[in-house]
Amino acid sequence: MMFVQQFFDSRDAVVDALADRIAGQLSRAIAHRGSASLVVSGGSSPLAVFNRLAQHPLDWRQVTVLPSDERWVDDTDPASNAAMIRRELLQGLAAEARFVSLFDDQVDYDQADKIMSDRISAVQRPFDYVLLGMGSDGHTASLFPDAPDIEQSLSARQACVLAAPPSQSQRRISLTPSALLDAYQIGILFFGQDKADVFAAASSDGDLREYPIRSVLRQERVPVTTYFAL
């Protein structure tokens, strides 16, 4: 396994360290290639990281940001990851970044995986940084263990898959491990003892379908760092 675990004394310390790490990676990419790409997760855990990251004086015009997954809802919906990312990250200096949404109200949901896979093929890869979260069931992005097609989603070669697990009330679209692992660095952010226990279980041997986060942990392609505090 190719991951390093970092434990911090406080959530504020996690936020500072992770925002600085992402900003450094993006800055180096811009210096070397003239542009950078960043994948970010939804949920509540990364909000403070986004706020802190947005304050970094990068050349944000050269940064492309996209979500790791999305609920198939308009960005006026409170559940929209796109709306949250625009509100919390693409503000201040970072407002000049380019954002690529995984939702389009002109696209039929049944075709969205193919259409969005084609659209994000234009985003610079390998991604310079991929920031993921982890759910209490061991899911990451919208790769849920109870999805009937989770095995196919974890092994899919295309960039996006549709996701409608029974545990979730809304249809979703998600980047696949194939896309998420096409990166220079991956960070996994989670807080609390319950998540720490889930991560410990996911770090053990077992089927990828049991804890889909294993698809990120159990690989030798890209370095992964976990950022955790109680």
Per-residue pLDDT of the chain (230 residues; tens, 9 = 90+): 679 999 999 999 999 999 999 999 999 999 999 999 999 999 999 999 999 999 999 999 999 999 999 999 999 999 999 999 999 999 999 999 999 999 999 999 999 999 999 999 999 999 999 999 999 999 999 999 999 999 999 999 999 999 999 999 999 999 999 999 999 999 999 999 999 999 999 999 999 999 999 999 999 999 999 999 99
Contact 158, 178 (CB under 8 A): yes
**pLDDT of amino acid 11:** 98
The structure tokens listed for 6 are 């970092």
φ, ψ dihedrals at 127, nearest 5°: -60, 140
Q: What pLDDT is stored for residue 23 in this prediction?
A: 98
* All residues at 6 or more sequence positions from 45 whose CB lies less than 8 Å from its CB, including other chains: 133, 189, 190, 191
Q: Which domain holds residue 49?
A: 3-229
- Is 66:122 a contact under the CB 8 Å cutoff? no
Query: Which tokens is 3 given?
Result: 């991951």
Instruction: Provide the CA 46 distance to its chain's centre, in angstroms.
Output: 10
Residue 151: count of CB within 10 angstroms of its CB: 12
Domains contained in the chain, number: 1
Position 2 scores a pLDDT of 72
Kindly report the CATH number assigned to the domain that includes residue 104.
Answer: 3.40.50.1360
Cβ contacts of residue 146 below 8 Å, gap of 6+? 137, 165, 166, 167
